[in-house]
Structure 1
Amino acid sequence: MTTFTVFMAAESRARFRDLVAAEWIKLWSLRSTAWVLLLSALSVLAFNVGTAYDSYRYWTERDGDDRAAFIHDGIPLLEAFTSNGALVYMLTVGALGALPVVGEYGTGLIRTTFTAVPDRRSVMAAKVTVIAAVTTAFGAVVSAASFALTQAILSGRDVGIGISHPGALRAVVASALLAPVCALTGMALGALVRHGATTVAAVFAVLVLFPAVLTDDRRWTAVLSHALPLNAWDRLAQPGGPPDVYPWTATGAWTVYGIWALIAAAIAVTAVQRRDQ
């Protein structure tokens, strides 16, 4: 009995690895995958590097007080990953996360997939694994490149910072991990909506529009605002303490990251259990 149990466990692990390999092949067989990643990276870097270059270019026009405030307020760290860059980043990786699901539903291939592998949850778990891995690596590369390039530019005016600067490593890691959080959210919305354009609109509403309509001047709206990925990233990437009426901790922001990723993965895995289209 023990031998049989071990054998079945080994077979189960091998099968899941095969599913992950299949999802990896399917993801990279789509031309849109590479293009989305490339254009996303270039867009984010363009926003961030462009902002840093503007600071470099007009540095001589600043007076002494303005230069001191630039350093004191932590602007070099803010320019390492700007809010505009973060918005583009969130939308593109959110759309990428939805792609493996809405793409198969749009073409009808999902029926073939579920016929070949009746265990739908395993199929979706493999999709989650692949998207989480790809977007985590993507986020790490983009975040590190953005930090390195922006600080190299600012160093030309002797205001660039290193990774050992207080808050710098946290900001880089937070920016990197924002990618899988948003990608898994996109996948969860794709599993629920199952239509490409509508899913992209839902990603925009959940990740960007909803945070924009919430304010921090009332406790209940502040709590809702703090529970969103965009504001969690802002809390982690912002130098020093937040000037909110209802401030919160970095630990709380990391917790928001974890909860969103886990809930999104759970929705993606379970939403397809009884629906084919």
Structure 2
Amino acid sequence: MTTAAPSPPLASATEPRARFVDLVAAEWIKIRSLRSTPWALLITALAVLAFNVGEAYDTYRYWSADEADEADEAGRRARFLRDGIPLQEAFTPNATMVLMLAAGAFGALAIVGEYRSGLIRTTFTAVPARRSLVAAKALVVAAVTAVLGVLVAGASFWLTQAILSGRDAGVPIGHPGAWRVVVASALLAPVAALAGLALGALLRHAGSAVVAAFVLLVVLPGVLSDERHWSAVAGHATPYGAWARLVETGVPQSPYPWTTGGAWLVLALWPPLAAAVAVFAADRRDL
């Protein structure tokens, strides 16, 4: 009798673990494939530009009427520049609120949409590494909204100063404080988007997440007063409070002023903390 030769071991059928770069690419395809994404970003950009450009145009149009009692035109422009009004009109509070609200809703819907459609179950089945998957989503959301923030902040500064230059009242990007206004305004978009992503991962309901983002990013800073120490400190810790301090010109008027270094720290800490909340919520909670 002859003995049969041992058969070779079967090849492992286990799929290779997805690399983080592959997860980022998959999340980018998800966002890019949605028809609503470019329209939402375009409408947001146009709305932000409209608020900023409209403010600058009003100043240009009513320049003489507002200053009819001033005889010295050169002195008028000097005071206009000294008070930092060109930088104030480069990115207005109304435009800031629109940008934060839109970016927060974008971040929330980026994850809530998958829970609502049930796609999240398929996604987590294909990629059990939830933390890596949500981290990739956070990175893509932050990158997309960061580009949005840079475009609208840069375009707003260029357009508003071009309009004000018609009255010889515009300033160049090298003017003291100009870069600070542009960078701080651009950072608001990814900060708000990641905050919305975290709220979406926690609440898992589109309406609730958008409302929560509105309350956290827009309503809360307006409720907190600068007249009391604890309230002022809480206001300084919000993205809007940090932005307001960075774009402020002259001596701070608050009895409890915040430092520019502290304001930059706030804007730097919100994104990683929000991303960590989103990752933890998706990893620890059942579907």
Shift of 1:237: 1.3
Q: 2:37 aligns with which of 33, 38, 41?
A: 33
Alpha-carbon distance between aligned partners in 1 of 2:32 and 2:244, rounded to the nearest angstrom: 31
Instruction: Report the counterpart of residue 115 of structure 1 in structure 2.
Output: 125
Q: CA RMSD in A?
A: 1.4
Q: Is the 8 A contact 1:111 1:276 kept in 2?
A: no
Shift of 1:178: 1.0
Alpha-carbon distance between aligned partners in 2 of 1:115 and 1:149, rounded to the nearest angstrom: 48
Opposite residue 176 of structure 2, the aligned amino acid is P
Shift of 1:66: 5.8
Tell me, yes or no, if structure 1 residue 45 matches structure 2 residue 49: yes
Alpha-carbon distance between aligned partners in 2 of 1:99 and 1:203, rounded to the nearest angstrom: 11
Tell me, yes or no, if structure 1 residue 254 matches structure 2 residue 264: yes
Alpha-carbon distance between aligned partners in 1 of 2:256 and 2:285, rounded to the nearest angstrom: 42
Shift of 1:230: 0.3
Alpha-carbon distance between aligned partners in 2 of 1:189 and 1:260, rounded to the nearest angstrom: 13
Alpha-carbon distance between aligned partners in 2 of 1:191 and 1:230, rounded to the nearest angstrom: 22
Tell me, yes or no, if structure 1 residue 179 matches structure 2 residue 189: yes
Instruction: Report the counterpart of residue 165 of structure 2 in structure 1.
Output: 155
Instruction: Report the counterpart of residue 54 of structure 1 in structure 2.
Output: 58
Query: Helix, strand or coil for the counterpart of 2:107?
Result: helix
Tell me, yes or no, if structure 1 residue 93 matches structure 2 residue 99: no
Q: Is the 8 A contact 2:86 2:164 kept in 1?
A: yes
Q: Is the 8 A contact 2:77 2:168 kept in 1?
A: no
1:176-213 deviations in Å (ceiling 9; x for gaps): 11111111100000000110111100000000111111
1:102-161 deviations in Å (ceiling 9; x for gaps): 010010100000000000001101001101111111111110000000000000000000
Instruction: Report the counterpart of residue 127 of structure 1 in structure 2.
Output: 137
Normalized per residue, the structure richer in helix is 1
Instruction: Report the counterpart of residue 7 of structure 2 in structure 1.
Output: none
Runs of 4+ in 1 over 3 A off after TM superposition: 65-69
Query: Helix, strand or coil for the counterpart of 2:32?
Result: helix
Alpha-carbon distance between aligned partners in 2 of 1:34 and 1:193, rounded to the nearest angstrom: 25
Between the aligned residues of both structures, percent identity stands at 62
Is there any run of 5+ residues in structure 1 with no aligned partner, and where?
Answer: 1-10
Opposite residue 127 of structure 2, the aligned amino acid is V
1:18-40 deviations in Å (ceiling 9; x for gaps): 10000000001111211111010
Q: 1:137 aligns with which of 147, 150, 153?
A: 147
Instruction: Report the counterpart of residue 24 of structure 1 in structure 2.
Output: 28
Instruction: Report the counterpart of residue 7 of structure 1 in structure 2.
Output: none
Alpha-carbon distance between aligned partners in 1 of 2:257 and 2:89, rounded to the nearest angstrom: 23
1:202-225 deviations in Å (ceiling 9; x for gaps): 000000111111100111111001
Larger radius of gyration: 2
Instruction: Report the counterpart of residue 168 of structure 1 in structure 2.
Output: 178
Is there any run of 5+ residues in structure 2 with no aligned partner, and where?
Answer: 1-15
Q: Is the 8 A contact 2:77 2:169 kept in 1?
A: no
For this pair of structures, how many residues does the alignment match?
266
